[in-house]
Structure 1
Amino acid sequence: MKVIPMVNLKFLFIAALLSLSACSSVNDDIEVISEADPKVDFIGYETFAWMGSAVIAFDEQGQWEPPGFDADKEVKFYIDRELRAREMSEDSYNPDMLVTFVAGVDMDNIEEINHDDSNLAGLENVPKAALVIVFFDAQTGQPIWYGAAEGEVQQNQTVMESKQRLDYAVTEIMAKFPK
């Protein structure tokens, strides 16, 4: 078994959150960024394995995740789908790269909002969510690429609406993965 050095995912998560902004509408509020190690030739990466357990923050009050909906499982499914569409295969024994993701929600996010009927900006609670997907080189344990999406929390969604937003976010993130 290989020992892989851990990277500070919290730093990547915070960096992704700080570099995004939001809009409005069904999926228009979802903003995506990505960053690749410029020294890496992605052509040699053909296999992947999941690194540890990827996590989405638990929603104990049921404000953003519908009851009975497993967002972790959905995100993993969409990432798997996108990697397989790039003709990559899962190999738990000798992968070229390791994959993980982390997501979080800030239900207490406050933003300055300009209203059309006033010249003064007001402060409003605008809950935010972010998803960060990170790929590591399996041999070195170094991060080679990450993509992130941030959007406004859509409260009281149906399971189908939640799936559609997660599918959209993962698809847009993975569209930025080097060919």
Structure 2
Amino acid sequence: MANLRILIAVVVLTLSACSSVNDDIEIMSDVDPKVDFIGYDTFAWMGSAVVAFDEQGQWEPPGFDADKEVKFYIDRELRAREMNEDSYNPDMLVTYVAGVDMDNIEEINAKDSTLPSLSNVPKAALVIVFFDAQTGQPIWYGAAEGEVQENQSVMDTKERLDYAVSKIMDEFPK
């Protein structure tokens, strides 16, 4: 469990760059090779999942609830795989965490210089984790990472979240 927390922290803080609505988003995942996913048909939400609060409104449009959207997209993807939510006797527990680093600094190679310079490039990540409900052990995680796109419309923000969750869940074992 401690290793999973470290992994989530590393993924949340390590992110990449962009030029359009979704092309900066990178996806990664990992699975416990000993797990046979054939017997996993039900899931339950594990505790409260969290998206970092944006007190300055830089990356989350006013009135937009990113937590609710992410949960909606994950639910949709699981139901598309014919998995059902079962709060009493689930096969898997699911949670997610999202974080933003508005103070991220990166080395930038300037066109007119051979020396790199430093620039503020805000970064964000979303990590979805599944645990075996009986053992509590993590069995799969998927993550999306990308550049924060400041002052986006609600529609663009929804599109990015939908894209990220869909691409993460494409990596989920069939």
In structure 2, what is the Cα distance between the partners aligned to 1:153 and 1:20? Answer: 9
Other-structure match for 1:68? 63
Cα shift at 1:75: 0.2
1:52 matches 2:50? no
Cα shift at 1:65: 0.4
- Unpaired segments ≥5 residues, structure 1: 1-6
Other-structure match for 1:166? 161
Map Cα deviations across residues 79-112 of structure 1 (whole Å, 9 max, x no partner). 0000011110101110000000000000000000
Cα shift at 1:25: 2.2
Evaluate the alpha carbon distance shift between residue 144 and residue 129 of structure 1 in structure 2; reply closer, same or farther with a 3 A threshold.
Answer: same
Cα shift at 1:13: 1.0
**Aligned AA for 2:22?**
N
Evaluate the alpha carbon distance shift between residue 169 and residue 72 of structure 1 in structure 2; reply closer, same or farther with a 3 A threshold.
Answer: same
Evaluate the alpha carbon distance shift between residue 59 and residue 17 of structure 1 in structure 2; reply closer, same or farther with a 3 A threshold.
Answer: closer
Paired residues of 1:102 and 1:131 also in contact (CA < 8 A): yes
Other-structure match for 2:74? 79
**Aligned AA for 2:69?**
E
TM-score with structure 2 length normalisation? 0.95
In structure 1, what is the Cα distance between the partners aligned to 2:12 and 2:53? Answer: 19
- Unpaired segments ≥5 residues, structure 2: none
**Aligned AA for 1:156?**
N
Other-structure match for 1:3? none
1:87-126 equivalences in 2 (<5 Å): 87-126=82-121
1:146-165 equivalences in 2 (<5 Å): 146-165=141-160
Q: Percent of aligned pairs with the same residue?
A: 81
Cα shift at 1:10: 3.0
- The number of equivalent residue pairs is 173
In structure 1, what is the Cα distance between the partners aligned to 2:66 and 2:12? Answer: 19
TM-score with structure 1 length normalisation? 0.92
Map Cα deviations across residues 105-161 of structure 1 (whole Å, 9 max, x no partner). 000000001122221211000000000000000000000000011100000011111
Q: Which moved more, 1:11-20 or 1:53-62?
A: 11-20
Per the alignment, in what secondary structure is the counterpart of residue 165 of structure 2? helix
